[in-house]
Amino acid sequence: MSLPPEQPPEPRIPLGHGATFAPRFASGDGPDYDNVLACIRCGLCLSVCPTYATDGVEVQSPRGRVALIRAWQEGRLELSPNLRDHMYHCLDCRACQTICPTGVRVGELVLGARAVAESQRRRGAVAGALAGFSLRWLLPHPDRLEASLVPLRLYQRLGLQRLVRGSGALRLLPGPLAEMEGLLPQLPGRPLRQELPEVVPTSGVRRYRVGFFLGCVMTLVFARSSRATVDVLTANACEVVTPKEQVCCGAPHTEEGEFEEVRALARRNIDVFESLGVDYIVADCAACGAQTKEYAHLLCDDPAYAERARAFSAKVRDISEFLVGIPLRRPLGAVPRQVAYHMPCHLAHAQKVREAPRQLLRLVPGLQLMKLNEDDWCCGSAGIYNISHAGRADKILARKMDNLRESRADTVVTGNPGCLLQLQAGVRGRGWATDVRHPMELLAESYRGGAGEQLPPLDGEKVRIDSGSPTD
């Protein structure tokens, strides 16, 4: 009896292993597994990631970070000190999210991974105390924060905490401490929050009642900028309400994966602003704006707050985003400067507000906008990255400073305190005369020279997104 001839096997395409059905920690504040799977590994994000540009290794790329998170979720990697450190190397600048064609939210996935990593770690006594001190004792209480007064201390606390958390990073201490000295700007006499009346009336006819979300670092360090924000608003038919009971937005806690703490802060801020009857809530700190816009998402499972959080977040606008949407008085005073605009990550990538600040600056007579290459690249500030990862942040800053020099601007403008600090440090470290300003300062300066006719809204906020090249 002869055997039937053996069938040659059909040729097959090796499709690899697909996703797992039982990913670890796929719910709650951990990384969203479906979003992890959305990564098609095209590598487009490699072209915009500052840490990849600096190090040239795949673990420092967005694609690599997503792959690490996926391998961890699928049980192919364990949470090692190495893996934990890699999660903290990301700047959370979200440039990759702007460019990713499939909508992978790498920065957010990394924050989710940090949350899991933190919840799984047995916190050492020192680290725990420090974290508790700054994130839970200091930041939620403006009075305590202001009493401690020296914002350096705030930064130190956060920086130290990160350093103690990071394995083996203690050796690096002297460097970062020196770095902090360099970051420390000249401090205003008093925090703005103590000086600013709860309600500042508009100089003309009131059209909007605007709540002002005054960021911790803005009030403590950049009081001058936030003062200018109020001036610009009141010059444009806005009554400005700045409740003294508002607390930290929670951005620093988010960076550390402390989502429960963020929710507590969010609830307090919602309580505070809800009763004011404001039309909008305006922030002149990009990080605060990005964070408060997230409240809706953060509290969506909280029955008592879900709806209120949605209403709150829907009212939040970055100051520039708000201003281009309303009829503005033409600013008349000349501000003869050559200005480079640096996009804060939390504005350009997290909030997708890219052109509004430049649209506003173009209104200012005498102000010349200079071309800044890589204007939407992170400056290396990234929360407290410049302290926790000083060496790395230095290289990222150096790239920014090189571009700034090439722009030949005499003033660099940006709407985020972290960036302002970082750029100031960069300018000072190089002995340059370049002025570092918040955009509202220049606008307010121009308004001091007079306000002309009412302009139609500049609106047309063009979200310039350089993404999605065609496949194949």
Partner 1 sequence: MEARLIDELRRLLARERVLTSPEELAVYSYDGTFLESKPDVVVLPHTTAEVASVLALADRERVPVVPRGAGSGLAGGSVPARGGIVLGTNQMNRILDVDTVDMVAVVEPGVINASLQAAVEAKGFFYPPDPASLKQSTIGGNVATGASGPRCLKYGGTKDYVLALQVVLPGGRVARCGGRMIKNVSGYNLSQLFVGSEGTLGVVTEATLRIIPLPKARGTVLAVFPRLEDAGEAVNAILGAGVVPLALEIMDQTAIYCVEQYLHAGLPLDVEAQLLVDVDGDECSVTQQLQVVSDTCRQRGAREVQVAADKAESDRLWAVRRAISPSLGRLKPNKLGEDISVPRSAIPEMVRRVAAIARQYDLLIPLFGHIGDGNMHPNILCDLRNPAEVERVQAAARAIFDAAIGLGGTLSGEHGIGLLKRDFLPQSLDPNALALMRQLKATIDPNNIMNPGKVY
Ligand X SMILES: Cc1cc2nc3c(=O)[nH]c(=O)nc-3n(C[C@H](O)[C@H](O)[C@H](O)COP(=O)(O)OP(=O)(O)OC[C@H]3O[C@@H](n4cnc5c(N)ncnc54)[C@H](O)[C@@H]3O)c2cc1C
Q: Are 246 and 375 in contact (CB under 8 A)?
A: no
Give the integer Cα–Cα distance in Å for 288 and 262: 12
Provide the minimum distance between the beta carbon of 32 and partner 1 in the complex, in angstroms, as a whole number: 13
Token reading at 369:
């906008």
Give the integer Cα–Cα distance in Å for 325 and 321: 7
Listed in sequence order, the residues at least 6 apart from 233 whose beta carbon sits closer than 8 Å to its beta carbon are 202, 210, 212, 240, 282, 319
63 binds ligand SF4 per the rule CB under 6 A: yes
- Using CB under 6 A as the criterion, what x/- string covers residues 13-52 for binding ligand SF4? --------------------------xxxxxxx--xxxx-
Residues 98-127 that bind ligand SF4 (CB under 6 A): 100, 102, 104, 106-107
The b-or-e profile of 319-351 (16+ CB within 10 A means b, else e) is: bbbbbbbbebbebbbebebebbbbbbbbbbbbb
Instruction: Enumerate the H helices of 187-305 as residue ranges.
Output: 192-195, 216-220, 223-234, 251-255, 259-274, 286-293, 295-298
Q: Which is nearer to ligand X, 42 or 169 (CB)?
A: 42
Provide the minimum distance between the beta carbon of 232 and partner 1 in the complex, in angstroms, as a whole number: 31
Q: Which is nearer to partner 1, 102 or 120 (CB)?
A: 102
Provide the minimum distance between the beta carbon of 80 and ligand SF4 in the complex, in angstroms, as a whole number: 20
Packing angle of the helix pair 306-315, 286-293 (nearest 10 deg): 150
DSSP state of 134: I
93 binds, among ligand X, partner 1, ligand SF4, none (CB under 5 to 8 A by kind): ligand SF4
Stretch that binds ligand SF4, among 60-68, 125-133, 310-318, 394-402 (CB under 6 A): 60-68
Q: Which is nearer to partner 1, 71 or 332 (CB)?
A: 71
Give the integer Cα–Cα distance in Å for 132 and 128: 6
Listed in sequence order, the residues at least 6 apart from 247 whose beta carbon sits closer than 8 Å to its beta carbon are 139, 140, 141, 142, 265, 268, 269, 272
Q: How many residues does the chain have?
A: 472
38 binds ligand X per the rule CB under 6 A: no
Give the integer Cα–Cα distance in Å for 257 and 251: 10
Pick from 26, 37, 38, 42 the residue near ligand X by CB under 6 A. 42
Residues 264-303 that bind ligand X (CB under 6 A): none
Q: Which is nearer to ligand SF4, 77 or 264 (CB)?
A: 77
Q: Are 412 and 290 in contact (CB under 8 A)?
A: no
336 binds, among partner 1, ligand SF4, ligand X, none (CB under 5 to 8 A by kind): none
Q: What is the DSSP string of 11-28?
A: P---------SS-TT-ST
Provide the minimum distance between the beta carbon of 10 and partner 1 in the complex, in angstroms, as a whole number: 7
Q: Which is nearer to ligand X, 97 or 246 (CB)?
A: 97
Stretch that binds partner 1, among 65-73, 130-138, 286-294, 385-393 (CB under 8 A): 65-73
Pick from 28, 76, 124, 199 the residue near partner 1 by CB under 8 A. 76
User: Given the rule CB under 8 A, which residues bind partner 1?
Assistant: 10-19, 21, 34, 37-38, 40-44, 46-47, 56-59, 61, 63-64, 67-68, 71, 76-77, 80, 82-83, 86, 101-103, 468-472
Interface ranges with ligand X (CB under 6 A) = 42, 471-472
